[in-house]
Amino acid sequence: MKHHLAHARRTTVGVALAYISAAGCAGSDVAQGGRSQFQDSSGVILVSNSSSGAWTTDEVWTIEPDWVVGEAAGAANTEFGEITGLDVGEDGEVVVFDGLSAEIRVFDDRGAVLARFGRAGQGPGEFGLAVQGVLVWGDTIYVPDPLNRSIHRFLLAGEPLDGLPYPADPAPRVAWSIAPGHLISHLFTPGYEALLAYDLSTQAEDTLVVLQPTNVVQSTGDLSRGGKITVNPLPDQPVWEVFQDGRIAAGHTSSNRITIHAADGSVERIVSGPFHRRAIDQGEKDAILELEHERAILRTGSAEAAEQVAQMFDYVLPDSLLLFTTFLGAPGGELLVQRPAPIEEMDPAGLQAISHEGLGGSTWDVFDAEGRYLGAVSLPERLRLAKAWGDYIYGVIPDELDQDRLVRLRVEREGLQ
């Protein structure tokens, strides 16, 4: 599970949960016929999938709401400001970070509060304003905090442990995940992005996977002479996920290929999915510009200020839509791949962001551990910070009062036990 510094558009829990249902793309007899598999001379397995899923009707996953935590006017333990980090412990403990209150809350597997600790600041047990999520391994919580230059550590009960040094390299880390024996960070610089392994014992870093980079800013003029910054507000960018065994799925929103890496970063297989680029018409391009205007208002606080900022940019709009937006790894090795939402329903804050999480829709394509395309399921719209653990998917959805809620969904894998 990784954590990005990104915001998501608000929606309501009631409406979102009403749309949880299976949306199976199962074929009639395609368990073998929907996939071709080859092995190249280097030992990499190449998997090509058709658009027909391998699920039969009785194998399609069903996903139902299990519990919800979060009340706009509820008890302090169940009221959230903005959840910006979420992970799950091996015994089902759910750990969240509230970015507004700068605190961690730990819940048991039924949603009851076990612990609550932390606050904003620069001292022991205190967090900076740009904490990059929470990560759980065993009985330990890790909290990357770039402003305090520390990776905080706590036991699940809240007892603080000695922290680890945040990477000294000035190149920004924009997302983190965790794997056996190390943390994984997404290093982002213009034109170069990579996943780095941070050894928990030695604090040394090593490159695991080089990612195909984002190209948000295409060119910059001389602003002092009236020049403008040329920007694509909906750029293609890398997407990745770490499985519980340390394997990594990495792709790019411009390509229908997903590469599965071993825990050491070597390539195991390349999976071609049933993804197809769809052309964007002029009406949709106008909708992107409107979303960009909304994003500017969110950032500047007023329409007037947003208009002034807009004068600094020339927008180069994409000709086709992203192929996907987010990956979610499941405990059985399955990979869920989120399709984009209709442009008019996208989150303005997701434009020009490191993560396209807020731009995803309710439909997720499912691949098994071997790369076989199974079909599609529907998850709640605007579900964010999703984490799959056991037979459940955890995530965050705001309610009708714009208040974050922690949700758990039950996954029934009929025919796949």
Tell me what pLDDT residue 382 has. Answer: 84
The better pLDDT of the pair 386, 354 is held by 386
Report d(CA 328, CA 379) in Å as an integer.
Answer: 12
Are residues 387 and 88 in contact, defined by beta-carbon separation less than 8 angstroms? yes
Half-sphere exposure of 179 (CA within 13 A, CB side): 25
Q: 309 pLDDT band (50/70/90 cuts)? A: confident
Render pLDDT for 283-307 as a digit per residue (tens, 0 to 9). 999 999 999 999 999 899 999 999 9
* pLDDT-above-90 percentage for the chain: 72
Q: What is the mean pLDDT of residues 93-114?
A: 96
Residue 288 forms part of a structural domain: yes
pLDDT(106) > 90: yes
The answer for residues whose C-beta is within 8 angstroms of residue 249's C-beta and 6 or more apart is: 240, 241, 243, 258, 259, 260, 261, 327, 329, 335
Partners of residue 387 on adjacent β-strands = 394
Average model confidence (pLDDT) across the chain: 88
Residue 416 forms part of a structural domain: no
| Total domains in the fold of the chain | 1
pLDDT(207) > 60: yes
Q: What is the CATH number of the domain that holds 43?
A: 2.120.10.30
Residue 201 forms part of a structural domain: yes
Report d(CA 191, CA 312) in Å as an integer.
Answer: 22
Residue 417 forms part of a structural domain: no
Phi, psi of 287 (to 5 degrees): -65, -35
Q: What is the mean pLDDT of residues 352-376?
A: 92
Which of 25-34, 240-249, 343-352: highest mean pLDDT? Answer: 240-249
Name the pairing type of β-strands 119-120 and 126-127: parallel
Report d(CA 110, CA 87) in Å as an integer.
Answer: 15
Closest CA to 340 of 373, 365, 369: 365
Residue 39 forms part of a structural domain: yes
pLDDT(191) > 50: yes
Tell me what pLDDT residue 351 has. Answer: 87
Tell me what pLDDT residue 416 has. Answer: 46
Tell me what pLDDT residue 121 has. Answer: 96
Tell me what pLDDT residue 224 has. Answer: 67
pLDDT(401) > 90: no
Q: 72 pLDDT band (50/70/90 cuts)? A: low
Tell me what pLDDT residue 20 has. Answer: 44
Render pLDDT for 1-57 as a digit per residue (tens, 0 to 9). 565 443 333 334 443 444 344 444 443 333 454 678 888 878 999 999 998 999 998
Report d(CA 185, CA 208) in Å as an integer.
Answer: 10
Q: 78 pLDDT band (50/70/90 cuts)? A: confident
Render pLDDT for 254-284 as a digit per residue (tens, 0 to 9). 999 999 999 999 999 999 999 999 999 999 9
Domain that holds residue 40: 3-411
Closest CA to 265 of 208, 210, 212: 208
Q: What is the mean pLDDT of residues 173-185?
A: 96
Are residues 3 and 134 in contact, defined by beta-carbon separation less than 8 angstroms? yes
Q: 369 pLDDT band (50/70/90 cuts)? A: very high
Which of 132-136, 189-193, 358-362: highest mean pLDDT? Answer: 132-136
Report d(CA 174, CA 30) in Å as an integer.
Answer: 40
Tell me what pLDDT residue 281 has. Answer: 96
The better pLDDT of the pair 183, 58 is held by 183
Tell me what pLDDT residue 352 has. Answer: 81
Tell me what pLDDT residue 159 has. Answer: 96
Q: What is the mean pLDDT of residues 386-414?
A: 91
Tell me what pLDDT residue 73 has. Answer: 55
Tell me what pLDDT residue 109 has. Answer: 94
Report d(CA 50, CA 25) in Å as an integer.
Answer: 11
Residue 305 forms part of a structural domain: yes
Tell me what pLDDT residue 49 has. Answer: 95
